Amino acid sequence: MVVEAGPAVYFLEASHLQAAQALLSGLSAGDRFAVVKYDAAPQALLDFTPDKQAAEGALGKVRFNLGFGALNLSQSLSTVLDWLGKVQGKKTIVLLSTGFDTSPENAMQGVLTRLKVSDVRILAISLSGELRSPPATRKGKNRGKAPPEKSAVAEEGFAKADQLLGAMTEATGGRVYLPKSARDFSGVYAEIAQLVRHEYSIAFAPPVRDGKVHAIEVRVSPSPNATPSTPASAYRIDYRRAYLAPSP
The answer, yes or no, to whether residue 94 has pLDDT greater than 80, is yes
Please enumerate in sequence order all residues whose Cβ is within 8 A of that of 118, keeping only pairs 6 or more positions apart, or say none.
Answer: 81, 172
Q: What is the pLDDT of residue 163?
A: 94
Residue 223, pLDDT score: 72
2-197 maps to which CATH number?
Answer: 3.40.50.410
What amino acid occupies position 11? F
Average per-residue pLDDT for the chain: 83
Q: What is the pLDDT of residue 177?
A: 94
- Residues 63-90: what's their mean pLDDT? 87
pLDDT digits (tens, 9 = 90+) for 5-33: 877 666 565 667 777 888 888 888 889 99
Q: What is the pLDDT of residue 161?
A: 92
pLDDT of residue 232: 59
Strands 242-244 and 213-215: what pairing?
antiparallel
What is the pLDDT, as a whole number, of residue 181?
A: 73
Mean pLDDT of 203-208: 87
| Chain-centre distance for alpha carbon 38 | 13
How far apart (Å, rounded) are the C-alpha atoms in residues 87 and 40? 24
Average of pLDDT values for 42-65?
A: 89
**pLDDT: is 84 or 144 the higher one?**
84
Contact 12, 39 (CB under 8 A): no
Is the distance from CB of 14 to CB of 56 less than 8 angstroms?
A: no
| Percentage of residues of the chain with pLDDT beyond 90 | 42
In this prediction, residue 25 carries a pLDDT of 87
CA 188 from chain center: how many Å?
12
